[in-house]
Amino acid sequence: MTLNISQKLISGHLINGKLKPGSEISIRIDQTLTQDATGTMAYLQFEAIGIPRVKTEVSVSYVDHNLLQTDFRNADDHLYLQSVAAKYGLYFSRPGNGVSHQVHLERFGKPAKTLLGSDSHTPTGGGLGMLAIGAGGLDVAMAMAGRPFNLKMPRVVGVELTGKLSPWVSAKDIVLEVIRRLTVKGGVGRILEYYGPGVETLDVPSRAAICNMGTEAGATSSVFPSDRVTREFLKSQGRESDWIELSADTGAGYDEIIKIDLSSLEPLIAQPSSPDRVVKVSEISGRQVSQVILGSCANSSLRDLLVAARVLEGRTIHPDVSFEINPGSRQVLENLAAGSGYLSLVKAGARIHQPGCLGCIGMGQAPATGTVSLRTFTRNFPGRSGTNDDRVFLCSPEVAVAAAITGAITDPRELGEYPDVKQPAELLLDDSMIISPVENTGELEIVRGPNIQPLPQMDPLPVDVEGTVLLKVGDNISTDDIMPAGAKILPLRSNVPAISEFVFSRINPSFAGRAKSAGGGFVVGGENYGQGSSREHAALAPRYLGVKAVIAKSYARIHKSNLVNFGILPLEFKHSSDYDGIKMDARVKIISVRDKIKDGQVTLTAEVDGREILVRLDVSDREREILISGGLLNYAKGL
């Protein structure tokens, strides 16, 4: 049997199931990563499992999100994370060392390995030929405990790349074209596997950027081959011994195929406020810009910053533009400084920040009211930037630096000759900001600040489920909409009672109070409910408020799993037209739901204000047991 790369990676780690799209499979996880916005809760959950040390080959705790020390809470959480890493045998990447995905690509990623991360952009590792998947923190905690990761076998979409990119066109334009074609939900239940002669023209940072943003199409993961280019990258990292070749078998097939001629692409840009609102830059050029940010886990590599530096040589930033740079890692920053790149950026007027996520998750760098911000980021959901009426566009480093120079959205091809940028063959390598695991950790104490609260206890599923419709929302509701991020809310990630006050706060500020007064209830949603970040707080906090079920037209993969993990029923309308008939405050009741779920029933009858509608519970037998138990932790502990 001939296999493509995705099938090889899955079959090599398969514990249960078959390579049949849509069927549940269990796979072994080699590596995990967490970041501090999701990690604190993941490690509280890992502690609750009760084993003395992680069982993966490599597990890394990164601090890259909550970098603003406006009070004690973020600093306390970082001390907790560092002490947990020491206690349980994890690597710890300290604040300022960089974005988890960039650092993991540089220092830990290995071809043919599996990686599970509590961040939706974990598929960045696919640029090295890994099967890298984003998940909720509880799933990652289970993987660290040696448990398999369960998911539906994805369909594998082959993305055939031919030709070669033209000057001023880069990897971001490739993935924006993919997202334009698929939309933000077209990749759900799929792995995007890149192949064809165009692949060898792309370096690893470019491949990683493409894999990173496959998440914005809803894809389970994205993957490239491990080839000569991969080997050169690992050699530059002093890790050539980690390289192995990985490619699809000759004649291997795909469930679907997308064809892209790289030479036909031109600079693209995603308009507010969705990553799939993609148009050619040339179609909207001339619009005034007040902020440009180069960074995020998609575009903060040394290659990206060197492009900006070379373009800015002898030029200055437009006086009406704030041009900000968030390096992806300390390694990137050090090597940028070792050449002339850092000085070129500073002399041009760029503002260079510490390596980290920063404005990508609303941790500072909010744009001014009513102004346009161009960002090389991954997402532009409404209000994510920290400004409610934001006008955020997503673009490549080339488009970003062109706007920084001209003060307007500009086709970068107008700047003239494209700079020849090559990464140094030998890089400065320094792992002093990564603390390695040690043995004999029995006497180590875990540091817990006052903001770190115990995990809330979850009751098993009741016999009947009933309550009012607390909120009705439309299509493509993101986890940013459900559980906002930003400098005000992110520090509360380890305090569920406190963070639950902000559930749906941007959409309906009274939601938390009404949910508590009503004793919980239901949320009704449209298509692709829960797209975006893997943040499990978008399920955990609603569950704390008493949300018993969500009834939606369809779900994003990670969020649906998170709902199950925290005992919230992810129900789907059998007839989408029934969505229109449900009003806010309607009374919903599903009788004998516990027994029906135990019996394996897929279609359930829900009574809505005395009218019956049909809903579906499309979950596996294992997930049914989790829901009956009241959540994954209860299920794992046999409660």
Fold classified for 465-636 = Aconitase; domain 4 (3.20.19)
What is the DSSP annotation of 448-516? --TT--PPPP-PPPPSSEEEEEEEE--TT-BHHHHS--STTTGGGTT-HHHHGGGTTTTT-TTHHHHHH
Domain ranges of the chain: 5-264, 268-414, 465-636
Candidates 257, 278, 268, 295; CA nearest to 184 is 278
Total Cβ atoms within 10 A of residue 626: 23
- What's the pLDDT score for residue 424? 83
Report cis status (omega within 30 of 0) of the bond before 273. yes
Q: Which residues contact 259 (CB under 8 A, 6 or more apart)?
A: 159, 160, 162
> What's domain 268-414's architecture?
2-Layer Sandwich (3.30)
In 237-358, alpha helices (H): 281-284, 302-312, 330-338, 341-348
Strand, coil or helix: 175: helix
Q: What is the pLDDT of residues 454-485, one digit of tens each?
A: 889 999 999 999 999 999 999 999 999 999 99
Query: 394 pLDDT band (50/70/90 cuts)?
Result: very high
Q: In what order do the strands lie in the sheet with 372-375?
A: 278-280, 268-270, 391-395, 372-375, 291-294, 322-325, 351-352
Give the model confidence (pLDDT) of 509-540 as tens digits. 999 999 999 999 999 999 999 999 999 999 99
pLDDT for 376 equals 98
Quick one: pLDDT at residue 311?
Answer: 97
Q: pLDDT, tens digit, for every residue of 536-568? A: 999 999 999 999 999 999 999 999 999 999 999
Contact criterion met (CB below 8 Å) for 262 and 168: no
What is the pLDDT at residue 561? 97
CATH superfamily of 5-264: Aconitase, domain 3 (3.30.499.10)
Average pLDDT value for residue range 223-237: 97
- Do 268-414 and 465-636 fold alike per CATH? no
Q: Compute CA 455 distance to the chain's CA centroid, rounded to the nearest angstrom.
A: 23
CA distances for 539 relative to 347, 501, 517, 585, angstroms = 46, 13, 19, 21
DSSP reduced 3-state for 488: coil
Cα–Cα distance, 542 to 540 (Å, whole number): 6
Q: Flag whether pLDDT at 239 surpasses 80.
A: yes
pLDDT score of 442:
78
Residue carrying structure tokens 């036909």: 264
Dump pLDDT digits (tens) for 36-65. 999 999 999 999 999 999 999 999 999 999
For 120-149, what is the mean pLDDT? Answer: 98
Please give the distance of CA 486 from its chain centroid, rounded to a whole number.
Answer: 16
pLDDT of residue 639: 57
3-state secondary structure of 36: helix
Digit-coded pLDDT (tens) for 161-193: 999 999 999 999 999 999 999 999 999 999 999
Residue type, 559: H
H or E segment to which residue 572 belongs: strand 569-573
Reference 29, options 172, 132, 166; nearest CA is 132
Q: Which residue, among 169, 256, 263, 164, has the nearest Cα to 217 in the 3D structure?
A: 256
pLDDT digits (tens, 9 = 90+) for 427-440: 999 999 999 998 88
Compute the distance between CA of residue 65 and CA of residue 74 in angstroms, rounded to an integer: 10
Q: Which tokens sit at 549?
A: 């079920």
Percentage of the chain lying above the pLDDT 70 cut: 100
pLDDT score, position 443 = 84
pLDDT tens profile 315-360: 999 999 999 999 999 999 999 999 889 999 999 999 999 999 999 9
How many Å apart are CA 510 and CA 528, to the nearest integer? 24
Question: Residue 238, exposed/middle/buried by CB under 10 A (0-12, 13-18, 19+)?
Answer: middle
Above 90 in pLDDT, residue 96? yes
Residues 6+ apart with CB under 8 A from 164: 198, 201, 262, 263
